[in-house]
Amino acid sequence: MGGLAVDTLEAEDPFAEATTVQLNKGGAQGETLYSESAPVEPTGYFAAELPRDAADYQKYRAAEASARESAAAYRDVIASARQSIARGDWSAARRDIESALQDSPDSPYLLKKAALLYSLGGEYETADRYFSRYLQLKPDDVDCVAAWAAVANLQRDWPKAESLLNRAFELAPRNLSAHFQTVVFLKASSLNKPFRPYDWDHLTLAEMQIVANWMEADRQVYEELLGEPGFDALIKETLGPVNTANLNEVRMASQRAVAARKRGQWQVLRDILMRLQDLGVKSYWVPLGLARALYELGSEDEALAVLTRVQQQHPQVADAWQNSAFIRIKAGDYEKGLADAREALQRSPNSPEIEFTVICALAGARKMDELWPLLEQWARKYPRLFNTAMQGDDPFLQIIRSDSRFGDLQRTIR
């Protein structure tokens, strides 16, 4: 069930393994300045699973190894259950899991599968028992906590749903599923509870695909819970004013856009992102991606016009200012590029990429006395970035390297 399983169940394969990754918003390979990056702090919804130190990293490595061993141990059972589900025989799938649990009643792997399977089958009280047993063994599994909150929402058990959502936010403040279920909770319960705010305008293309899939797959369930007007309001708050009939197109277009960007298919990406805008998607990552595609296609003025609109509508977004600075600097418009880079730096003061953009703009404008202290500080903070960044042939880099102080700085960094 979309929204219940998060990334532990997939629409096509309810027993697919979770893939715990930090969403990568990209970045232009081969370009020093153009940014599609997230802010410095992790913003993906698996932020809580980012290792804090070496010991924490080893803990997650051990957990991953354990999960792989469990998957191998119960491969035949899971394969049989998957075949049953493909035939629509949920009873047989449950029997497979229950049979395995008789032999291994404390297997976290099987308990999790059982909880999610019974959730998908609408047997929420049984799912409750398995969620409870599983989370006693794995209390930090934020996605399962959020999935259990989704079940509580469908049961209209508002105190339990509220408690589980708060528990999820303690584990991962930006967990996407928890925030989605919070919107469901607030609209279904009509309660005014002070949950953590979430910027739905920040959804990446990959996240849009996930959210659209949740709502499309479970449209009937959510319409029963919220009513059709409430379901429309859920779509509007999370994705934008998208027509219900277009959810599948949003999901597919988001998926194709991610693939096109990875492959450098800029014309394809441009067309897809323009269509997403027409469909009503509100995320600012859509126009940011469109500006990138237009720039790569040689339409710098159109790209700047798109970025200017993002700056006006979402002035807090550093990437909009950084990317316009990049385009202006590459075109030789150093003064305007410098102004945009400084706007970006105000919004993301700890970004080494933006700091270097300011340095490049100062070089192009030949403001060397202002540039040099910044370059020395940046080079000492990021010696590897310095050695890589200074290898390009851009005019502003040549200006920096031609300065009489550059040799001494380079030797100091080495």
- Mean pLDDT per block of 10 residues along the chain (414 residues) reads 35 30 27 38 32 57 58 71 78 80 80 85 89 92 94 96 95 93 95 88 93 92 95 97 95 95 96 97 96 96 97 96 96 96 96 95 96 95 91 92 93 84
113, 136, 164 - which closes a domain = 164
Indicate which CATH number applies to the domain containing 340.
1.25.40
Crossing angle of helices 285-296 and 266-279, in 10° steps, is 150
Tell the residue number behind the tokens 């191998």, with chain if given: 72
Give CA–CA dist 359/321, Å, rounded. Answer: 15
Please check whether residue 140 lies inside any domain of the structure.
yes
Is residue 8 assigned to a domain?
yes
Check residue 13 and give its pLDDT.
34
Structure tokens at 51: 């290792």
Instruction: Give the Cα separation of 325 and 309 in Å (integer).
Output: 14
Indicate yes or no: pTM above 0.75. yes
Q: Look at residue 345 and tell me if it is in a domain.
A: yes
* CATH code, domain with 70: 1.25.40.10
| Domain span holding position 376 | 314-414
Residue 224 lies in a domain: no
The Cα–Cα gap between 297 and 224 comes to 46
Q: How far apart are CA 196 and CA 166, in angstroms?
A: 9
Angle of CA points 140, 141, 147, to nearest 5°: 135
Q: How far apart are CA 402 and CA 241, in angstroms?
A: 53
DSSP state of 317: -
Looking at residue 58, what is its pLDDT?
64
190 is a domain residue: no
Q: Tokens 């699973």 map to which residue?
A: 49
Q: How many CB atoms lie within 10 A of CB 88?
A: 9
In a domain, 327, yes or no: yes
Choosing from 113, 131, 164, the residue where a domain stops is 164
Contact (CB, 8 A) for 130 and 11: no
Element (H, E) at 239: none
> Distance between alpha carbon 346 and the CA centroid of its chain, in Å?
23
372 assigned to some structural domain: yes
Cβ 351 vs Cβ 359: under 8 Å: no
CB 363 within 8 A of CB 399: yes
Alpha-carbon gap, residue 283 to 289, rounded angstroms: 11
- Indicate the number of domains in the chain: 2
- Do the domain assignments include residue 279? no
CA distances from 164 to 102, 132, 147 (A): 28, 11, 9
Two tokens at 113? 């599968």
Query: Which residue, 351, 227, 391, 203, is CA-closest to 286?
Result: 203
Last residue of a domain, one of 137, 164, 191: 164
Contact 307, 324 (CB under 8 A): yes
Give the number of residues written for the chain. Answer: 414
